[in-house]
Chain A
């Protein structure tokens, strides 16, 4: 099964459309994450796919079938809501039975399937609890089990971890990843948290101002993004505008570097790829601030006309005012546009 969103545009009636020509395609068993800050249009897109909104233009296709105008309950799109939207007047079991009752399954079949799903997400012992008696993590599992009980052809998750506290979020992230990859349906996952996106997804699309400006695997987006905005969102602390110099090199604020191929408008490198030390040559700078972060030391170093951010071994112990020499490995410098 594949989910395809084809050039979807949508506006709430204001002058600025929320989504402009968004296209994505999620394959069988693939976890695709829409990454974007709040207001980027993620939730709107999810609502269009689920059928709560109708796009102004474009189509939503499931397995080649156009479902843009099909009613939400006939789409077979399972959704896990941000605050889970568990029915407060039904216990866990009845929440999970809800979609099966809506399809008029046989009683025995329903019960069996419900037990199976409880087992799958690990809430068998909570079956008789009311939603108000569940913890955040338990609610989340229930919501997932309920969405799966509808036998969805595609699964949508709207920031399912955002209502949980930080420690639990990291713990459940891994669990969710293995659960999602065991499913054989396309999964569309929404988050504003880049680490969560990295941990969960097969592929990530970065949504900015209603457009997917870049997509790729977590590794690609993490190490070799192509767009300035993506790089900046994904923690490239150092992004500099560059100029072509002719004769196969470019001018950067830190000095010229040789360059083959297309001329980028910017270059960037991650703070953790900076090498610090005295081993010959390299750049010199003065530490403006240093921030200890346990496993690493964050330095802001003034060098030539710019500030370079670096994440280095804490044992270096550089403090404010110190002179440091450092170098940037050539292969960690990424061209951006």
Chain B
């Protein structure tokens, strides 16, 4: 029906398509100037030599050289392992959450959105607080006189962090599908003589396959492009992103060419996984929306075993989401290094009063001000971009749609480090010189954030019933009036969610910001990273600073919840 009504504007087709074309041009101009061209420059480095001749030397190098090969291989298998473990952990949970109703279910589901807005750096600091050499785990173990392994710098901590960080995303994707399954199909299977297990494997599981694939490919992509977590926790283990960064910073001409080649290899793999993600999520049938409870959830009949399973799982979820954050929070108020210590506000005081110097040209307060400012500006720039992207995605159908959608959402899978470096190298000399300015930061944050916002707006635009606009028109409202009085109020939740995401991405971004920011415009994550890396590793101020970063992000998360609660009344919501 929708397809048909899209075509109902056929007679006005020419006028419409001019508008669509204009919007496409604006979006592609932005995309080409600030994403594709800079990345192209970097990638070209990988296949040309110093004098600009095409060569396969560097590609051959990175595939043959032990170190680069190891980096590529490690990036690949850690992403594969992380995503499979994430799925193994999220799948049963999503199943349980869709089957059982229990008090606090809404809270658990809401809590699972937190990792969307909490910067990965904060999670890394949280894991340091738990698993680090002076962390909680080692204090507990050493008090029991068991030797504590120092996990920081190991490969296991990277995978652990990835599972921690990504499982809520997988949980939400699977839960949305599970709660969209038609319960009568299960009832039908049971009444036709299939047992519980058989029903699960023959009726439930086959309906889940595209969701599983889409969660798997998304988590894989995230883990493959991981930067902050590996930078902070990985020690000598480099993923492609981290390696690229050290090559860029290394400033050797040879290194730059190798970085270019690495970007090429990375892009090819990410292109494949992103395509798998977009393809599989488009095949997920039904409404991809989390339904809190529906007929068929077993509200009344919950067996003791079921209660135990659900209880354990919920505890685990809460632990995973909150424990690292809680540890950071507690650590920021503790005077000493071990488990229980006197309460203190010293660390916060130190941050407030810290002067610039000692490796920093700005004070912590400056970085907070910078981040807030860039966050707001990114939000302002992203909203029109996200809105236009969502709009053309809804409007345009037919041939090549999936390709265009993928192109529009391209930055989702782009290497942020390469993007940052590419922007700097593309626009560092006249006529266009934006290196070191504040707006290069806003630009790169917007490039990274707008596709996420576009998805939020897209999903609320999709659930907007087109006949409401027609009703408004037939009642005498002009197109402008019907937009402002009918469409906008109803898709507002999606727009607000997009705004919050843009802000959150900007607040937490590290990879690209490290490449583009000058000393003057250091942001919170950059400051935090330097504190962690800096000599001495004084934990107190690091925790305190993380808490400030986390609270900023958490406030944006809270505003999403409030927005959704307020707007949920009339049932149009923007989900990720």
Using CB atoms and an 8 Å cutoff, list the residues of chain A in contact with chain B: 12-13, 47, 50-54, 71-79, 81, 83, 85, 87-89, 98-99, 102-103, 130, 132, 146-147, 149-150
Contacts and interface: CB of A to CB of B under 8 A. Distances in A.
A77 B471 CA distance: 11
Contacts of B51: none
A13 B397 CA distance: 15
Given A54-B11, A72-B474, A73-B475, 20 more contacts: A13-B7, A47-B8, A53-B11, A71-B473, A73-B477, A73-B478, A73-B482, A75-B474, A79-B470, A79-B474, A81-B467, A85-B467, A87-B472, A87-B486, A88-B468, A99-B476, A102-B475, A102-B476, A102-B477, A132-B571
Q: Which 10 A-B pairs have the closest CB atoms?
A: A54-B11, A99-B475, A85-B471, A88-B570, A72-B473, A102-B476, A79-B474, A102-B477, A85-B467, A89-B570
A78 B471 CA distance: 9
Contacts of B473: 51-52, 71-73
A81 B469 CA distance: 12
Contacts of A130: 569-570
Contacts of B10: 12-13, 53
Contacts of A51: 473-474
Interface in B459-492: 465, 467-468, 470-479, 481-482, 485-486, 489-490
Contacts of A12: 4, 7, 10
Interface size on B, as a range, is 20 to 34
Contacts of B470: 50, 52, 72, 79, 81, 85
A147 B8 CA distance: 22
Nearest to B474: A79
14 contacts: A12-B10, A13-B7, A50-B474, A73-B475, A73-B479, A76-B476, A77-B474, A85-B465, A87-B471, A102-B477, A103-B476, A130-B570, A132-B571, A147-B474
Contacts of B482: 73
Contacts, number: 86
Contacts of B569: 130, 132
Contacts of B570: 88-89, 130, 132
Contacts of A76: 476
B12 interface: yes
A131 to B, nearest CB: 8
Contacts of A78: 474-475
Nearest to A54: B11
A187 to B, nearest CB: 15
Interface in B1-30: 4, 7-8, 10-12
B572 interface: yes
Nearest to B465: A85
A147 B489 CA distance: 21
Nearest to B489: A89
B460 to A, nearest CB: 13
